[in-house]
Amino acid sequence: MIKIRVLEATAIVALLSCSEAAQTINGIEARVDGGTVRAVGSACVTDKDCDPDGSIRCIGDGFPGGYCSQIDCKTGGCSADSECYILASGVRACLAKCESNADCRQGYACTDNGACDVACAESSCGDGLTCTEGRCVADLTKHPAPRFPEPACDDAPDWRCRDGATECGTLYPFEPVDGPGYTNYPINGETLADQYRSFARKDTIMLVKSAAALVACKTKGWRMGNGQVLALGDMSEANGAIPGTRENDPGHPAGTHLNGFDMDIGYFQLKGADNQLRPICMHTENGKEAYHCTAAPNNLDLWRQSMVLGTMFATDRIRVIGVDGKVGALVTVAMKSLCKEGFLSNDSCKNEKLAYEETDGGAGWYLFHLHHFHISLNKYPAHGYPTEMLSIAPQRGSLRDRDMLMRSH
């Protein structure tokens, strides 16, 4: 199965538990002894403004108008309508739960992690993000670098496999494990000495290596993002089986990740020490795991992600690339902008091979793509192999019809 890690947010680096309800945070509760205790998230100047007993304290540093909170909390240890979070400073604190900005007091906004936190300003979001309704979201209005000068990147490896259908379709371990623009790190029970889930067709390997190297070269001067390389996830086993079959635990639906055509790859991310497969968004609904992005993907390096998708789409080998529904709409707009400005070729934006579902329509893309994008190759180049290289006779009809026929044999 896919590794799950907690998303890093703008001012909160880890969500410790999920909210199930919102609150009006200026509420005040009466105490039995005649005093009052203010709800977590209320304005304050001193600790006594929050609770005469001092169990709820006033956080002032970085919180305009003060913020009533319980410090050094643990999951489940906060008062009603609040939850325990880790702040960017490393301090654990109870923050008011919310579902929308209306649940937070003036100057505060509801984060993707469901907490009332300080509302952003234009200068506080960083490269690649913009402040919208108090929240840092992906900036679709501009890409991060001028068009010229740009690196020539002539040394990027060729994506075309010219060695014939048999050799191009032979499965190999994805090696070396580290190369220009990528890392094939151990995942899902693998070790460096036993990467049994990391076998792919030669043409799949060539395409990924080419796209990774080209994007790393073209975007090396771009300001946003964590600056890390693509991280490769599950492919196939050496015999073409679904990863995990060797251990009697296939990790993907039947019919996928077979025979080296498919690969899971972690998204380019804004924050973190690497781009390993992890959620790039909030992914809960009513306090339960939703297995898809339930809010904007605020740890997505939108422009690099759009570059790598567009680079792959410019080839004739991609059958489909699947992404989360919250990612799909963003990269579609961003790729068009990159094509218009010349960062990508027009071929990158003339395809219909990007798959995503914003609601569950049963196509299979709605769930499980919150931490990676999935690429799948055609069985043959768009212009076809020479007849003698095919395992079946060439067919007439649309590319989609031919592809479905080829994949059924």
Domains and CATH numbers, the chain: 12-119 (no CATH), 164-377 (3.30.1380)
> With a cut of 70, which residues of the chain have pLDDT below it?
1-36, 382-409
Q: CA quadruple 94, 99, 100, 104: dihedral positive or negative? A: negative
pLDDT of residue 17: 31
Contact present, 338 and 303 (Cβ < 8 Å): yes
pLDDT of residue 10: 33
First and final CA of the chain: distance in angstroms?
28
Contact present, 126 and 270 (Cβ < 8 Å): yes
pLDDT of residue 383: 58
Residue 61: other Cβ atoms inside 10 A: 9
Tokens representing 154? 């002539």
pLDDT of residue 7: 27
pLDDT of residue 14: 32
Closest CA to 366 of 309, 306, 293, 264: 293
d(CA 72, CA 86): 9
H helices present in 295-398, as ranges: 302-313, 325-340
The 3-state DSSP class for residue 4 equals coil
pLDDT of residue 36: 66
Rounded to two decimals, the pTM is 0.71
59, β-bridge pairs: 67
Within 13 A of 264's CA, how many CA atoms are on the CB side?
Answer: 29
pLDDT of residue 88: 74
